[in-house]
Amino acid sequence: MKRRILTISVAAFIATTPAFAHYGMIIPNDPMISQADGRSVALTMSFSHPFELDGMMLDTPVSFSVTHEGTTTDLLGELQDATVMEDQGYTLDYPLDRPGTYIFSMEPQPYWEPAEDAFIIHYTKTYVTAYGDDEGWDTELGLKTEIVPLSKPFGLWEHNVFQGIVKMDGVAVPYAEVEVEFFNEDAAATAPDELMITQTVKADADGVFTYAPPSDGWWGFAALSTADYTLPQDGEDKAVELGAVIWVHFEEWTGQ
């Protein structure tokens, strides 16, 4: 695999943001499963700093499910404990019985982050297509907060743009802030400055954002907002950061 150097190429409104952003993660072994790949997908779930490969505790999620052809199935009881990036995570081998798009979604328990003096809840999802059928790639799950893909969230070449619309309670969020980070899975990527580890994209007035990654691999998009409620911590009411997270895989360009 080629060495990656994160000098960033983006498509809209880029600004830098501090490193060490948090991400809920659902990473399949392959986002496009063919008959030759077998009839299941292996998923790894974590709560992590994906570029630094720094894991954090992911307690048993509030929910974990898959949606296919309009039907949502609860998979919470099927998660297997695992160590991911040296901390608590989960794995799941899920059988793919029919063609089409499978959307895996996770709502975690609130995570207390002392550095931010706030709780974090990342509603996380990823899309997997089976057997050459991409029907349902733009499915909206109706999560509390969600990035609905406007570009197919698989089958993208590196440098293709990805577009999504940020929603809260089903309504588009104007000028939403979206953090973007690379899953540095093989630790091959380097950043010339810490400020370039996490990128920030602003959505437009309709809640639509655009990003073009500089490299193939998994890229996480997290649209952040503050909840209209608080949670108690040490006898005080604390703010809650809500994240709409989607993971998108970009393929290495093999053309001339």
Please spell the DSSP secondary structure of 98-122, one letter per residue: SSEEEEEEEEPPPEEEGGGTEEEEE
Going by the DSSP 8-state scheme, the letter that residue 60 receives in this structure is S
> Would the pLDDT of 13 be above 60?
no
Q: Give the model confidence (pLDDT) of 84-100 as tens digits.
A: 999 999 999 999 999 99
CA atoms within 13 A of residue 68's CA, in its CB half-sphere: 20
Question: Which pairing describes strands 118-130 and 32-33: parallel, antiparallel, or unpaired?
Answer: parallel
Dihedral angle over CA of 195, 252, 83, 121, nearest 10: 50
| pLDDT tens digits along 117-152 | 999 999 999 999 999 999 999 999 999 999 999 999
Tell me what pLDDT residue 20 has.
64
Q: Are 20 and 119 in contact (CB under 8 A)?
A: no
Asked if residue 71 is part of any domain, the answer here is: yes
- Confidence bin at 7 (pLDDT 50/70/90): very low
* Domains: count for the chain: 1
Select the more confidently predicted residue: 19 or 75. Answer: 75
**Residue 233, domain member (yes or no):** yes
For residue 33, the cross-strand partners are 130
User: Is 75 inside a domain boundary?
Assistant: yes
Domain that holds residue 157: 14-251
Q: What is the pLDDT averaged over residues 219-245?
A: 97
pLDDT at 38: 84
142 is a domain residue: yes
Share of residues in the chain with pLDDT > 90 (%): 88
User: Over the stretch 230-241, which tens digit does the pLDDT of each residue have?
Assistant: 999 999 999 999
Q: How far apart (Å, rounded) are the C-alpha atoms in residues 93 and 63? A: 17
Task: Supply the DSSP symbol for 19.
Answer: S
Q: Provide the pLDDT for residue 88.
A: 96
3-state secondary structure string across 147-169: EEECCCCCCEECCCCEEEEEEEC
Q: Does some domain include residue 3? A: no
Confidence check: pLDDT of 35 > 80? yes
The reported pTM is 0.90
Q: Would you state the pLDDT for residue 238? A: 97
Whose tokens are 């009881």? That residue is 77
183 touches 220 (CB < 8 A): yes
Question: Average pLDDT of 15-36?
Answer: 80
**Is 256 among the domain residues?**
no
Q: What is the chain's alpha carbon radius of gyration, rounded to the nearest angstrom?
A: 17
Q: Is residue 178 part of a domain?
A: yes
